[in-house]
Amino acid sequence: MCGRTACTLAPDEVRRACCYKNGRGQWRKPRWKDGDADKYRPSYNKSPQSMSPVLLSQKHFDKNAPVDECVLATMRWGLIPAWFKENDPSKMQYSTSNCRSENILQRKSYKDPLLKGQRCVILADGFYEWKRQEKNKQPFFIYFLQTQGLRQDKTKDHNTEILDTGCPPKKASPGLAKEGKAPREWTGWRLLTMAGLFDCWNPPDGGEPLYTYSIITVNASPNLQSIHDRMPAILDGQEEVRKWLDYGEVNSLDALKLLQSKNILAFHPVSSLVNNPRNSSPECLQPVELGRKKEPKPTASSKLMKGWLTSSPPSKRKRSDTPESKDHNKKAETQPRSTGALQQWLQRSSKKPRTK
């Protein structure tokens, strides 16, 4: 089960954070689908029905585009199948925020998009999951292990599609570090890449088409089984993302083979503040020490997380998508940029985020 995520990057940061290599071996920065950058709102606490950034093939919107060219779109979480006849999508009688990988071919809502090649990648800083305890549930934030120090990249965006920045390999983005051969400009937080399916629903009485998605889930990896028995299907690295999105080269059955439990994620406990989806602030992501009420001494995870969240001027980020975050953002815009936290983030620590 995956019922809550966080995606705090501004629209242009999302573009730079999910660069990809096309079939000709060129590194490209995906553009936003027309108008979709304005529909997306960063948030520390996204729930179903909210709008999130999704990566998919450009060919879904332009039949003349190469299938291996990607585009960013803003879609609503919770798949509404194209055949849904009601005028109000909220009248769906069952949840489609997640779909089990084992059942995709048994349920029409998911089988149809799969066979049409409507595969997408949902982008997020990470996701939240709750561990059942005797009296309550403890929330955890789960994300890609950040293997290199992060810094806020200040390279000017020239709005060019093909990346040719000439950056040395040592400055490669952690999210693309495995390939290590191409220059790139993003050195920030490595976004989690979750496999999903999407569909386009047209209101029977007319109106703007609604694009929605469902996150595919698999059995939890060994290091997450103590928290929950399910997890999102994670696509690890450029090659897996490419195969999942390239429905021209990779057929549906072969694509399903990519959906495996992967023991590659880090996690830490967070405050129960995240239990309320109306709460959207950096405190939702910050680590807490279990069994203690007062704020714990900073750990490697908390330095890493807090450093990234405070490393760039909040004024450059769009407002979060929940009303309660407005006051927080207004206060943040009056504060000077924190450089101390960023330095802490870059420093090597004797402890690492928990992965086992």
CA distance 19 to 8: 17
Structural domains in the chain (count): 1
- Could you tell me which residues come within 8 angstroms of residue 96 by beta carbon, excluding any fewer than 6 positions away? 78, 79, 80, 81, 109, 212, 214
* 308 falls within a domain: no
* 58 falls within a domain: yes
* 44 falls within a domain: yes
CATH number, domain of 145, equals 3.90.1680.10
Q: Compare 113 and 334 and report the one with higher pLDDT.
A: 113
pLDDT of residue 185: 61
Across residues 210-214, what is the average pLDDT? 97
| Model confidence at 33: pLDDT above 90 | yes
Task: Respond yes or no: is residue 2 known to be catalytic.
Answer: yes
Summarize the chain as % helix, strand, coil (round to 5): 25, 25, 50
pLDDT of residue 205: 85
Neighbours of 262 (CB within 10 A): 15
The model's confidence at residue 303, banded by pLDDT at 50, 70 and 90, is low
φ and ψ of 315, to 5 deg:
-65, -20
Marked catalytic residue, from 7, 19, 120, 129: 129
Lowest mean pLDDT among 3-7, 177-181, 221-225, 251-255: 177-181
Lowest mean pLDDT among 57-66, 130-139, 143-152, 182-191: 143-152
* 343 falls within a domain: no
Q: Compare 96 and 176 and report the one with higher pLDDT.
A: 96
* 281 falls within a domain: no
Strands 98-100 and 43-46: unpaired
Report helix, strand or coil for 54. strand
Across residues 67-81, what is the average pLDDT? 95
- The boundaries of the domain holding residue 137 are 5-263
pLDDT of residue 81: 95
Across residues 223-233, what is the average pLDDT? 95
pLDDT tens column, 144-198: 988 654 444 433 333 323 332 222 222 223 333 333 344 456 788 999 999 999 9
- How buried is 91 (Cβ within 10 angstroms: 0-12 exposed, 13-18 middle, 19+ buried)? exposed
